[in-house]
Structure 1
Amino acid sequence: MRAIKKAISQPRYAMKAFGQRAKSFLNYHLKDGFSSYPETISSFLTYRCNLQCSMCGQWGVAGSSRELPPEALKSELSVDTLKSVINEVKFYGPNITLFGGEPLLYRDWATLVSYIKKAGLRCNIITNAMMLEKYAEDVVSLGVDEIIFSLDGPREIHDTIRGAEGIFDRATTGLKAVNAWKEKKNCRTPLINISSTIFETNYLYLDKIVDVAEDLLASAITFHHLIFLNHQTYAHHNEIFTRQFNVTCLDWRGFVRETLPDIDVEQLLNSINNLKKRTRRTLIHFYPNLTDAEIRQYYADFNFKPTSYKHRCISPWMVAYIFPDGTVRPCQSLNYVAGNVKENSFRNIWNNQKYLRFRSVTKKNKLYPVCYRCTELYRF
């Protein structure tokens, strides 16, 4: 349903994505690890961020980026290297997503966006919006297709989770500035889409979050279920992953917690079901779109497994992740590296031996212990 609603609101993107996904689905089922080129290339422009949000897997209380050495945190690809990647892939028209960290901290973000758009590609930016007021005219003039803004609640809740007063006002001022420039230039884009993680401090305010989204003229808001796992699952996953690939998945460390979330699931379900019934100008999605029974288990059992979704992940056939140091990963959070765009071309990396092996082993295993909490499992 989420995909159908998105297709209605963004038909041109949906048609192109459908064709690319169809090829990848066929490759998943018919070939041993080979895949046609990815629908989306997601580029981490920087590890740097101007916020340290409490639930963030990168910069939260136990975030993985906190453990990176200083030199790694400073690593960023040159804009020329990223332009080379765009030159390689523009022939088939992938969607390019820019994020981080905070992508607007990357010095040459505007130059890169301009190059992406001149290549005829779709470009999204995932941002905390803290710098949007400064760059509002730029994101409109450059032709950014979509801004995905992380919203945690109404003013007080958002500021609490984000770690300081004034963050909500600064972010919403920036988004309203984007809307003002869209109107001034008579532009339909960038679409503003809201991403909101359900958390212990905000789950009672979902209706208020939707009110904020509508005030910001958002096309859609997607509520994401909180990502979490316990030490046992994390250790079991690393035992398997180390045996299979000789890799430890450090990025999942930021989601490990001792206890289950302190969330009244019946109250949460009541809020979710009420919002699903309401007619809104802003489309409302819940992701993954679990059944009531699944949601109850999701928040009550560290060993949750969905019953309404297939127990397999095909994201490595659909999406590629390029990190600030140039490494290319088939999965954002599993720390498995298939190559580096500073040393080899993206197109050579995409179906090299490391990529083929990862896809082949993953298809055989279907899932790893952490995958049931990962949003990519439910994406395709």
Structure 2
Amino acid sequence: MKSISIIPRKNLGRIIRKAIQDPAFACNSFRRRFLSFLTYKFADGYSAFPETISLFLTRRCNLKCGMCGQWGEQGVFRDYPAEVLKQQLDLTTIKKLLRECKPYRPTITLFGGEPMLHPDWLDIVRAAKENGLRCNIVTNAVLLPQHVKDVVECGLDEIIFSLDGPREVHDRSRGVPGTFDRAMEGFDRLREIKEQRGQKKPFVTVNTTINQHNHHCLTEIAEIAERIGAYHLNIHHLLFLSRAICERHDKFFQQRFGAPSPDWFGFVHDTLPSLDLDVLFRQMEQIRQRQNGVSASFYPNFEEKEIRQYYTEWEFESTSYANRCLSPWMVAYIFPDGSVRPYHSMNYEPGNVHTDSFRKIWNNPKYREYRRVVKEIGKFAVCSKGCTELYRY
């Protein structure tokens, strides 16, 4: 049995920990997922309101992380014209969207690029909270020190911090010296202010992506996560694709939807990752054996034989997950130009919030057709190694 209804069996531990941390959020999240799952099963491309709306506030970033599909070595944003890179969601449009979403209580995720580069990001958090919505931010935390007091006071629910390793490893991966120390300064101050105020939020979650530079030091990452007061550590498997797989997907996408899908090429690797898998497995076991400190999970939670195939072969299909995508029923991405997309690397735009309401876009003919295709094929060629959403629901 690969899954229990809408919850993959392999993800149960991760979900239970989240429910303990924030029970109200967990109850609302499960209700939204259940409704979306029912529409996936029975509604012919229609969907209940999404569990999460990710606001892609800006494409700009203050780092150049090597493995990033946006700004990394193969990052597609490097070739974007300046006028596209300057685009950003405006506060007026976002406030209108949040008012529209209020009755449905989705989680609002601030995403990028680096969302703290958006001049109004704190006002966006405040607006989300004024409408009773849970709000989190995915950040490299370089700018956290200058905003830390406001972060505590604005009502932000969760900071999801991207950490690649101890100082030397993190700075090399992020491409900018001093990045680690600036982030640690911010989190030390955040913990201090929360303790002074007797406040638990914002919760801190650490996201780490396994790569050739850090797979030997995952236990050190867990210690850092504990030091900064993180509630949980998510250790993600690396996203990487071959050029042949991206080209196969792009050809299919153009045939079915009449549009290219170039952003996946940001995850292209010329060679398979150079990981010592025996070292990785020892690190994983030590993480699992930790009795105290921050809780940790590996995501996707593959079996050992799957991990060996994942990192040593270009083609991969999980034997412990369902290999069908529910994300277009659960999550929406709104880009800096206002376009609404079913995934942040699909380059497929069913509508734009500058011209239509989100509710109208969410179940318009173009969105429904996309969902029908996804349900028909289960997943795209790029999904198994290019997207963690495949394994989330």
TM exceeding 0.5: yes
1:309 equivalent in structure 2: 321
Distance in 2 (CA, whole Å) between partners of 1:307 and 1:96 is 32
Instruction: Work out whether 1:3 is the aligned partner of 2:15.
Output: yes
Match of 2:34 among 22, 42, 46: 22
Please tell me whether the aligned partners of residues 323 and 391 of structure 2 are also in contact (alpha carbons under 8 angstroms). no
The alpha-carbon deviation at position 333 of structure 1 amounts to: 1.2
Which of 88, 92, 95 lines up with 2:100 in the alignment? 88
1:204-261 per-position Cα deviation (integer Å, ceiling 9, x unaligned): 0000110100110100000000000111111111111111111221111110011100
For the pair 1:230 / 2:242, whether they are aligned, the reply is yes
Give the equivalent residue in structure 1 for 2:301: 289
Secondary structure at the aligned position of 1:66 is classed as: helix
Question: Residue 172 of structure 1 aligns with which residue?
Answer: 184
Q: Match for 2:298: what amino acid? A: F
The counterpart of 2:371, out of the listed 359, 376, 379, is: 359
Which of 59, 67, 74 is the equivalent residue of 1:55?
A: 67
Correspondence 1:340-355 to 2 at 5 A: 340-355=352-367
Residue 369 of structure 1 aligns with an amino acid whose one-letter code is A
Aligned 1:31-70 pairs, distance under 5 A: 31-70=43-82
* Distance in structure 2 (CA, Å) of the matches to 1:237 and 1:7: 36
Question: What is the letter of the counterpart of residue 83 of structure 1?
Answer: K
Q: Deviations over 1:152-196 (max 9, x none)?
A: 000110011011221100011111111122122221100010000
2:10 corresponding residue in structure 1 = none
1:264-317 Cα offsets, whole Å, 9 max, x none, are: 112111211221122132110100000001000000011011000001000000
Q: Which amino acid aligns with 2:75?
A: G
Look up the match of 1:379: 392
The SS at the match of 2:314 is coil
Q: Which amino acid aligns with 1:112?
A: I
SS at match of 2:103: coil
Q: Is 2:316 the partner of 1:318?
A: no
What amino acid maps onto 2:307 in structure 1?
I
Aligned to 2:204: 192
Partners of 1:45 and 1:180 in 2: how far apart? 29
State the distance in 2 between where 1:379 and 1:230 align. 23
- Give 1:8 shift: 1.7
Aligned equivalent of 1:135: 147
Give 3-state SS (helix, strand or coil) of 2:136's partner. Answer: strand
TM, length-normalised to structure 2: 0.95
How far the C-alpha of 1:9 sits from its partner, in A, is 1.6
For residues 115 and 89 of structure 2, the distance between their equivalents in structure 1, rounded to whole angstroms, comes to 12
Residues 319-348 of structure 1 show CA distances to partners (whole Å, capped at 9, x for unaligned) of 000000100001121111110001111111
1:122-167 Cα distance to aligned partner (Å, 9 max, x none): 0001110001010001111001000000000001100110112211
1:262 alignment partner in structure 2 = 274
Question: Could you tell which deviates more after superposition, 344-353 or 2-11?
Answer: 2-11
Q: Single out whichever of 144-153 and 246-255 deviates more from structure 2.
A: 246-255
Indicate the residue corresponding to 1:329 in structure 2.
341
Aligned: 1:154 with 2:160: no
TM-score when scaled to structure 1? 0.99
d(CA) in 1 for partners of 2:324 and 2:259? Answer: 21
Q: Does 1:98 align with 2:110?
A: yes
Give the unaligned 5+ runs of structure 2.
1-12
- Report if aligned partners of 2:141, 2:161 keep a CA contact under 8 Å in 1: yes
Q: 1:164 & 1:330 partners in 2: Cα distance?
A: 32
SS where residue 32 of structure 2 aligns? Answer: helix
- Give the structure 2 partner of residue 244 of structure 1: 256
Counterpart for residue 299 of structure 1: 311
What displacement does 1:95 show? Answer: 0.4
Q: Distance in 2 between matches of 1:207 and 1:353?
A: 48
User: Distance between the aligned counterparts of 2:188 and 2:250, measured in 1?
Assistant: 44
- The 1-side partners of 2:317 and 2:288 are apart by 23
Give the deviation of 1:6 after TM superposition: 1.4
**Amino acid in structure 2 at the alignment position of 1:113:** V
Q: Could you say which residue in structure 2 is the equivalent of 1:109?
A: 121
Which aligned runs of 4 or more in structure 1 are off by greater than 2 angstroms? none
- CA separation in 2, counterparts of 1:244 and 1:320? 20
What letter is aligned with 2:141? A
Which amino acid in the other structure matches residue 49 of structure 2?
A: Y
Instruction: Give the aligned residue type for 1:137.
Output: K
